[in-house]
Amino acid sequence: MQKLSEEQLENLAQDLDAIRNEQMADLGQKDADYIRGIIRLHRTLEFGGRALMPLGFIPPFFLAGMTSLGIAKILENMEIGHNVMHGQYDWMNDPELNSQTYEWDTICTADSWKRTHNYEHHTYTNVIGKDRDYGYAVLRLEDETPWKPMHLLQFINFINLSIFFQWGVGVHELEFEKLRSGEVTLREKADLLKDVARKGGRQTFKDYVFYPALTFPVAPVVIAGNFGANLIRNLWASSVIFCGHFTEDAESFTEEECENESSGHWYLRQLTGSSNFTGPNWVYTLSGHLSHQIEHHVFPDIPAYRYREIAPQVQAICEKYGLHYNADSFPRQYATVLKRVAAFSLPDRMRERLFPEFNEDGGEPKLENRGNSTSLVSRLRNRVSSTLSAAA
Amino acid sequence: MQESMNMEKGVDRGQGRSYRGVLARVGPGRDTWRWLGQQLFNRENPAMYFDPLLESINPLWAQRYIPARVEAIESETHDSKTLTLRPARRWGGFRAGQHLNLEVEKDGRWYSRPFSLSCSPSHWEQDGTITVTIKKVADGEITPWLLEHFEPGDVIGISRAYGEDHTPEPGHPMLFVTGGSGITPVLSQLEAMADRHLRNPVTLLYFVRTDADIIGGRKLEALAERLPNLELRIVAAEQDPQNPDHLGPHHLQAVEGLTERDCFLCGPPGLMKHAQNLLADAGVPDEQISSTLFAVGPGVVVTEDAGGTVHFSRSDITVESAGDRRLLEEAEAAGLNPRYGCRMGICHQCACRKKSGIVVNQQTGQPSGHGEETVQLCISVPQGAVELEL
């Protein structure tokens, strides 16, 4: 990982605290108006989408209804739910926007989310073995985890995780890998299992029983439209989240590196373990401002739309300490995510040669590799790289 | 001596006329709504889900709180005003001497502050309006803003009425001892007496600083007309600074048949305590004395130093904090087991409802307000007495 001296870490913490305090002192009507505006937009899109859906036997209506409901779910999950549960709006003292009582429109219960995401992921960001969000226990994304042949097929996991993302997040805390290894028993997870069933049942009932039944003659159309809306949300949410920590330059950490860490070291880890993507403002809003994952990880409880204006300050701080500020366009960042998933699906020796950019030395070209361009591995590597850049 | 500080449910008067009452009788029951709200909107009250849209169409349709339209604003004194409000019809009504909270958003933050109703219940029953009299608390967070900010036509949030029912009964002679804005619930009680044509002998001892501080002067004059047995004694205690006339035994001695009277005290804590002692000395039985602390504001003691008494209300444990430990540690030391996560202010797992008191966020150094709000236990220390819902 990128290192700083103790003194630098202390200064880094001071610099970032200063931004934080300035923002916290400035909270007010502007923030309340912003989030209420988003909520109004969400309600309009949701009711609009659900109203259009029964007319879905006419293709343009189907498309409009599905997209409207899909965007509504995206806004609710990412710009409202995720951010409210971080406590970004607790200061408003509005019972509808309270981190302790808010329940969101997805399978995962708010309580489970706050344990695994707010606490585990945000405290132990990218620490292998402690942050289960790093690869969601189904992807191998670094060489700390020993390679096994099943990792060769992890692209299937990746695709499944993207498509069924809300279910993956919903059962995340069940810790299947620990159940399988016997580290925890099903009995210990009984309450959680009940919660998953209750909330999952609720979400399924709403989209696949209640609203279709309400529009009985066209129920199949409504079921299809609701499925499409959930799919849109799942694909977008997973892509945004993958771009936040799984990009090529986002670092992961070992438990030893983080023992008894100072607040400066925690800040350093957030800065180097996260990555941003750039785009127009509406993309930022649709990502719940997780486009600014770096700012979000440094300041998880500042209203997220402020990350846009804080970003240049955070970038300047990174430059001051010689830290890499990992930001690029969405397609480019996503391409490096795919590259990482591909790279670490391979055995280490093969990966080191095919994807030297993931090596400890950052893939500095080695002399012996030069002039070896006709070897099978090199040709393979060139092909993978060019395909990925073309996709980007 | 009874104190009406505890919250009670509002009275259900006027409910039957509302569409909700009708719906509850013919439509699905409350449990069904709640279940459906959970299924469709992940909320117990499905109506709240529609608030953002309803509010933008008509602010009086909001379900999250009870909206009331400001009909008129009248100055009482240089630092107090009476607001005439028209609550949404679903508001439950009130009894004489009760209180309500005004729920307002200032600078994006929601505040809830208690005030006494200063009119009789017949106002609400006859023309659907109520009055609330607000006195500016010097250096207050909300009252100065409240008095400046609102204009007729605006919408303000109110809670249901709560507090002890002080509807006057016929027969008993009565004595009211009030000070400052403590007059407001008494105005409601006296007006209710007049509405019910009661003939009880009533003495009102009303202490103000100077003649310019009399709240409800016009109303009291009108009441004196309607209540022939009302004896009005307004004492401007500091009118003559050389010769102050604060509450003393001589005021009570002048009250005819004192020991027979039902006494009601409302005013600043010092005055109430003093009145209580004087009444006891004069031989008034304890059960004839009732009081309310409400009209005088929250009564916060602001201290500069960290530390104070921390009351965990759910477990009913009280500890003294020296201010050198975070609230999470104080709770754990007291044998409680609150939920926590990072213990460094990141994850909000230990966020907890603070009912009252000021806490200081040690990361930002910012003190909180004194009202009810959510605070992070792991980075907060008390500053003065604090009550936590734990």
pLDDT digits over A343-369, tens only?
Answer: 999 999 999 999 999 987 665 544 444
Q: In the prediction, which pLDDT does B269 show?
A: 83
Q: With an 8 Å Cβ cutoff, are A114 and B347 in contact?
A: yes
Q: With an 8 Å Cβ cutoff, are B348 and A114 in contact?
A: yes
CB-based burial of residue B196 (10 Å sphere; 0-12 exposed, 13-18 middle, 19+ buried)? middle
Q: Which two structure tokens, joined as six digits, stand for B13? A: 């008067």
Calculate the average pLDDT of chain B: 87
Residue B59 or residue B292, greater confidence: B59
Residue range A168-181, pLDDT digits in tens:
999 999 998 899 88
Q: In the prediction, which pLDDT does B29 show?
A: 76
Write out A318-369 in H/E/C secondary structure. Answer: HHHCCCCCCEEEHHHHHHHHHHHHHHCCCCHHHHHHHCHHHCCCCCCCCHHH
Residue B136 clears pLDDT 70, i.e. is over it = yes
Strand pairing report for B80-87 and B130-135: antiparallel
Chain centre to alpha carbon of residue B17: 27
User: Looking at CA atoms only, how far is residue A144 from chain B in angstroms?
Assistant: 24
Domain boundaries, chain B: 2-158, 174-296, 308-388
Q: In the prediction, which pLDDT does B32 show?
A: 87
Residue B292 clears pLDDT 50, i.e. is over it = yes
Q: Which residues contact A150 (CB under 8 A, 6 or more apart)?
A: none
User: Among B48, B339, B347, which would you mutate to test the A interface (most chain A Cβ atoms within 10 Å of its Cβ)?
Assistant: B347
Provide the 10 A C-beta neighbour count for residue B113.
Answer: 19
B229 in reach of chain A (CB within 8 A): no
Residues of B in contact with A92 (CB under 8 A): 108-110
Residue B13 clears pLDDT 60, i.e. is over it = no
pLDDT band at A385 (very low <50, low <70, confident <90, very high): low
Q: At residue B316, what are phi and psi to the nearest 5 degrees?
A: 55, 50
Task: Tell me, yes or no, whether A337 and A198 share the same domain.
Answer: yes
Percent of chain A with pLDDT over 70: 92
d(CA B219, CA A77): 54
Residue B181 clears pLDDT 80, i.e. is over it = yes
The three-state secondary structure class of B309 is strand
Q: Do B174-296 and B308-388 show the same overall fold? A: no
Percent of chain A with pLDDT over 90: 85
pLDDT band at A380 (very low <50, low <70, confident <90, very high): low
Task: Tell me, yes or no, whether A165 and A270 share the same domain.
Answer: yes
Residue range of the domain that includes A364? 349-391
Task: Point out the residue among B40, B108, B363 whose CB comes nearest to the CB of A92.
Answer: B108
Taking the alpha carbons at both ends of chain B, their separation in whole angstroms is 29
A300 in reach of chain B (CB within 8 A): yes
B257: left (phi over 0), alpha (psi -120 to 50) or beta: left
d(CA B157, CA B152): 14
Q: Which class does domain B174-296 fall in? A: alpha beta
d(CA B198, CA B223): 12
Task: Point out the residue among B43, B56, B110 whose CB comes nearest to the CB of A40.
Answer: B56
Q: Which two structure tokens, joined as six digits, stand for B6? A: 């505890």
> CA angle at residue A34 from A33 to A36, to 5 degrees?
65
CB < 8 Å from B in window 80-99 of A: 85-87, 90-96, 98-99
> DSSP characters for B3-60?
E--S--PPP-TTGGGSHHHHHHHHS--HHHHHHHHHHHHS-S-HHHHTHHHHHHH-GG
Task: Tell me, yes or no, whether A15 and A141 share the same domain.
Answer: yes
Residue B12 clears pLDDT 50, i.e. is over it = no
Amino acid at B265: L
Q: In the prediction, which pLDDT does B5 show?
A: 39
Percent of chain B with pLDDT over 70: 90
User: Looking at CA atoms only, how far is residue B95 from chain A in angstroms?
Assistant: 28
d(CA B257, CA B306): 50
B105 in reach of chain A (CB within 8 A): yes
Q: In the prediction, which pLDDT does B294 show?
A: 55
- A50's enclosing H/E stretch is helix A29-52
Residue range B209-236, pLDDT digits in tens:
999 999 999 999 999 999 999 999 999 9
Residues of B in contact with A119 (CB under 8 A): 341-342, 347, 349
User: What's the rounded mean pLDDT across residues A70-96?
Assistant: 96
d(CA A87, CA A99): 5
pLDDT band at A376 (very low <50, low <70, confident <90, very high): low
Residue A389 clears pLDDT 90, i.e. is over it = no
Amino acid at B56: S
Residue A391 clears pLDDT 80, i.e. is over it = no
Residue B362 or residue A34, greater confidence: A34
B145 in reach of chain A (CB within 8 A): no
Residue range A127-164, pLDDT digits in tens:
999 999 999 989 999 998 999 999 999 999 999 999 99
User: Among B374, B375, B379, B388, which would you mutate to test the A interface (most chain A Cβ atoms within 10 Å of its Cβ)?
Assistant: B374
From residue A110, alpha-carbon distances to A310, B25, B183 in Å are: 28, 34, 47
Residue with tokens 């990412």: A78
Task: Point out the residue among A33, A90, A123 whose CB comes nearest to the CB of B347.
Answer: A123
Residue B20 or residue B309, greater confidence: B309
User: What's the rounded mean pLDDT across residues B19-24?
Assistant: 51
Q: In the prediction, which pLDDT does B299 show?
A: 43
Strand pairing report for B99-106 and B155-158: antiparallel
A309 in reach of chain B (CB within 8 A): no
Task: Tell me, yes or no, whether A293 and A374 share the same domain.
Answer: no
Task: Tell me, yes or no, whether A249 and A360 share the same domain.
Answer: no
User: Looking at CA atoms only, how far is residue A386 from chain B in angstroms?
Assistant: 41
CB < 8 Å from A in window 360-389 of B: 363-366, 371-374, 376
Q: Which two structure tokens, joined as six digits, stand for B108? A: 């994006």
Total tally of structural domains belonging to chain A: 2
d(CA A297, CA A91): 19
Q: Is the dihedral of CA B340, B341, B343, B344 positive or negative?
A: negative
Residue B301 clears pLDDT 80, i.e. is over it = no
Calculate the average pLDDT of chain A: 92
d(CA B47, CA B39): 13
Task: Tell me, yes or no, whether A200 and A288 share the same domain.
Answer: yes
Residue with tokens 């035994």: B249
Amino acid at B214: I
A288: left (phi over 0), alpha (psi -120 to 50) or beta: left
Task: Tell me, yes or no, whether A362 and A334 share the same domain.
Answer: no
DSSP A146: P
Task: Tell me, yes or no, whether A327 and A359 share the same domain.
Answer: no
Longest CA–CA span in chain A (Å) reads 70
How many Cβ contacts (< 8 angstroms) between chains A and B?
A: 109
CB-based burial of residue A60 (10 Å sphere; 0-12 exposed, 13-18 middle, 19+ buried)? exposed
CATH 2.40.30.10, domain B2-158, yes or no? yes
Task: Tell me, yes or no, whether A63 and A124 share the same domain.
Answer: yes
Q: At residue A64, what are phi and psi to the nearest 5 degrees?
A: -65, -45
User: What's the rounded mean pLDDT across residues B153-157?
Assistant: 95
Q: In the prediction, which pLDDT does A229 show?
A: 98
Q: In the prediction, which pLDDT does A387 show?
A: 64
DSSP B95: -
Q: With an 8 Å Cβ cutoff, are B109 and A210 in contact?
A: no
Residue range A241-295, pLDDT digits in tens:
999 999 999 999 999 999 999 999 999 999 999 999 999 999 999 999 999 999 9
Q: With an 8 Å Cβ cutoff, are B349 and A205 in contact?
A: no
Residue range B72-94, pLDDT digits in tens:
999 999 999 999 999 998 999 99
- Cα-Cα-Cα-Cα dihedral of B289, B292, B296, B297, to 10°? 160
d(CA B102, CA A10): 46
Q: Which two structure tokens, joined as six digits, stand for A245? A: 């920590």
Q: In the prediction, which pLDDT does B11 show?
A: 39
Q: With an 8 Å Cβ cutoff, are B109 and A103 in contact?
A: no
Residue range A191-243, pLDDT digits in tens:
999 999 999 999 999 999 999 999 999 999 999 999 999 999 999 999 999 99
Residue A379 clears pLDDT 80, i.e. is over it = no
Task: Tell me, yes or no, whether A158 and A306 share the same domain.
Answer: yes
Percent of chain B with pLDDT over 90: 67
From residue A227, alpha-carbon distances to A55, A232, B233, B255, B325 in Å are: 16, 9, 75, 79, 51
Rg, C-alpha atoms of chain B: 23
Structure ipTM: 0.83
Give the residue among A127, A116, A115, A132 at the shortest CA–CA distance from A259: A127
Residues of B in contact with A21 (CB under 8 A): 364-365
Residues of B in contact with A214 (CB under 8 A): none
Q: Which residues contact B88 (CB under 8 A, 6 or more apart)?
A: B60, B61, B66, B67, B68
Residue B30 clears pLDDT 90, i.e. is over it = no
Contact A268, A4 (CB under 8 A): yes
Task: Tell me, yes or no, whether A187 and A300 share the same domain.
Answer: yes
pLDDT band at B293 (very low <50, low <70, confident <90, very high): low
Residues of B in contact with A100 (CB under 8 A): 348, 351, 353, 374
CATH superfamily of B308-388: Beta-grasp domain (3.10.20.30)
Residue A307 clears pLDDT 60, i.e. is over it = yes
d(CA A269, CA A257): 10
Residue B194 clears pLDDT 50, i.e. is over it = yes
Task: Tell me, yes or no, whether A53 and A30 share the same domain.
Answer: yes
d(CA A247, CA A255): 21
Least CA distance to B50: which residue of chain A? A43
Give the residue among A308, A284, A186, A272 at the shortest CA–CA distance from A236: A284
Task: Point out the residue among A93, A123, A202 whose CB comes nearest to the CB of B342.
Answer: A123
Supply the pTM of this predicted model: 0.87
User: Looking at CA atoms only, how far is residue B354 from chain A in angstroms?
Assistant: 11
